[in-house]
Amino acid sequence: MVELVTMFLGGIALFLLGMKMLIDGLKLAAGDSLRNLLAHWTSTPIKGVASGVLITAIVQSSSAVVFATIGFVNAGIMSLLQAVYVIFGSNVGTTFTGWIVSSIGLNINLQAFAMPFLALGMLLWLGQEGTKRGGLGQALVGLSLFFLGIDVLKDAFEGLGANIPFEALGESFSSRLLMLGIGIGLTTLMQSSSASIAIVITAAAGGFIPLHAAATMVIGADIGTTSTALFAVIGSTSAAKRTATAHVLFNVVTGVVAFFLVGAYLKAIAVVSGPELPIAASVALFHTMKKATGLVIFMPFASSFVAWLQRRFVGSERAEDKPKYLDDTLLQTPSLAVSALVFELKRVGMKSRRAVRHVLKGDRSHKELHQYVETVDNLHMEVVAYIQKMHRLNMPPNLEYAMPQALRVLQYFREASEHALTALHIKEQNHIQDSLREELRRLEDVVYDLTVACDSENPDFSLESVELLENRVENIYNEVKIAILSHGSQEKISVQAMLNLHEMIRNYKRVADQLGKAAHHMDNFNKLIDHVPGEGPGGVED
């Protein structure tokens, strides 16, 4: 018995190591192609579901696809509706592992099958580590270990089946709840439903557990996989929480339905396939039918489901001084993290320019504007902290060089709003003569126009128009400065008032300088990040 338990634990260890190496290798071998597929091939519900199925079948990890999807939603590249369709598809794609195990892993001489792949994989992996070919080699090594682990587990389960009579548990409600709990616990511990279901299928094929118990454990494994997404989005953005919730509800709802209909499913499989269908194939077919049921339940109501999700987790969206797009889940994929950073920089810029416009229009109290500027300051600190986290990653050179540009853009936005607030404070503390008021209004108007021109979300945005307005600000600033000095020399205003007004227009000029620099450096930043995915389904939200 001790030898069988040791074999069982060793088989699981070998199996899990193979799964991890297989997933990591496939992701490296695929490079950006899978992410590009997600970004660009989700325009319709059918394409979204199909891309989710295909990518999950390729990388053998629904969790990896869900994380990538969360990243795309956070980064503004994919709408929540598109993400939901991909998640539906990824849940169907995860059944592919079960079919591999039942059709290949249990019907051939696994050692003879795995050894050539192990040798070839090690040759590629060691010879070209870090490249796509090296990733393919790592995947082949992982696949070999995966099958060797199944071989060990198969033998262990055959021995354990004679010592632990699971058949005696029967099909009572309490027994099914126990199997459901074991399935949930198995996936929660291993953080992979594909691994759990492969183990369940191997156990069923080895006679360790009966078919009805295996089917119920599969339901539990699918519910347990939601823990990965839940753990990942703790303290994250509203978009991440909504996307993870879609994944959780799909699995929980279909799990509850399948739990109460498991007997009907198995009878249908027996009628259609006949008694000659191996138990492993029956479990794999049950898993596929269960996921297909989820599509039948959710697809007709996807838009309403998304509308319901949009009304959830709105509390964190109202925290104006917290990032809307940045999320630690994106750090696993630097290109996604940079794309989210672009959107967050634009959001900070939007808030900074809005603060400036309120100063120029005089339509907000000093207290309200101070809160605006404080929001920009807090966002500045949050985004800087995120950029520092990104620096700890192994980023491509173009992304490494882009980070200082992002920091400069942030600093310019922060200084622009602070200079605007300083100008307002001076303006409120000093009486401005009617003869100067019109001159000051000219300067305020052209700075206001510059805030509009610097908005890259504006369809008419161009650096040429920004530069033209910067020159106009410079000219009008000099004219207003001369007018203030003239009033002072003629004793129309006091020396102190002259100095104060001069300081005020200098702050207006600094506002224009900082916003202009931000526009230019944002353009440089965008040029450096040449492989960030597209701009997404809509503009930047405040």
CB 70 within 8 A of CB 327: yes
* Three-state SS letters, 473-497: HHHHHHHHHHHHHHHHHCCCCCHHH
Q: How far apart are CA 269 and CA 535, in angstroms?
A: 46
Q: How far is CA 539 from CA 2, 344, 517, 542, in A?
A: 62, 12, 22, 10
pLDDT at 537: 45
Q: Which domains does the chain have, with CATH numbers?
A: 2-310 (no CATH), 328-528 (1.20.58.220)
The per-residue pLDDT for 468 is 95
pLDDT for the residue numbered 255 = 93
Say if residue 480's pLDDT is above 80.
yes
* Percentage, residues of the chain above pLDDT 90: 31
Does residue 533 carry a pLDDT above 60? no
Q: What is the pLDDT of residue 77?
A: 72
Comparison of pLDDT for 318 and 141, the residue scoring more: 141
Q: Summarize the confidence of residues 81-92 as an average pLDDT.
A: 92
Distance CA 319, CA 327 (A): 15
Residue, of 148 and 131, whose pLDDT is higher: 148
Mean pLDDT of 173-180: 88
Q: How confident is the model at residue 139 (pLDDT cuts 50, 70, 90)?
A: confident
Mean pLDDT of the chain: 83
Asked if residue 123 has pLDDT above 50, the reply is: yes
Tokens of residue 124, six digits: 């590629």
Q: Are 169 and 178 in contact (CB under 8 A)?
A: yes
Mean pLDDT of 433-447: 89
The helix or strand, by DSSP H or E, that contains position 374, with its residue range, turns out to be helix 366-391
Pick the most confident of 16-20, 138-142, 283-287.
Answer: 283-287
**Span 287-305, average pLDDT:** 93
pLDDT, tens digit (0-9, with 9 covering 90-100), for 322-375: 888 887 777 776 767 787 888 889 999 999 999 999 999 887 777 788 888 888
Assigned token pair, 62: 């629904």
CB 521 within 8 A of CB 405: yes
Angle at 156 between CA 150 and CA 158, to 5 degrees: 100
User: What pLDDT was estimated at residue 9?
Assistant: 78
Residue that wins the pLDDT comparison between 511 and 69: 511
pLDDT per residue over 378-424, tens digit each? Answer: 999 999 999 888 887 766 666 777 888 889 999 999 999 999 999 98
**pLDDT value for 518:** 94
> How does pLDDT run across 38-49, given as a tens digit for each residue?
667 777 888 889
Residue 285's pLDDT is 93
pLDDT at 536: 45
Which pLDDT score is estimated for 14? 79
Q: How sure is the predictor about 509, in pLDDT bands with cuts at 50, 70 and 90?
A: very high
Residue 192, pLDDT score: 75
Q: What is the per-residue pLDDT for 422? A: 92
Identify the sign of the CA torsion 65, 66, 72, 78.
positive
Q: How many CB atoms lie within 10 A of CB 435?
A: 12
Does the pTM surpass 0.75? The reply is no
Exposed/middle/buried for residue 299 (C-beta within 10 Å: 0-12, 13-18, 19+): middle
Taking a C-beta distance cutoff of 8 angstroms, is the pair 157, 206 a contact?
Answer: yes
Confidence label for 534 from pLDDT (cuts 50, 70 and 90):
very low
Q: At what angle do helices 62-74 and 193-205 cross, to 10 degrees?
A: 160
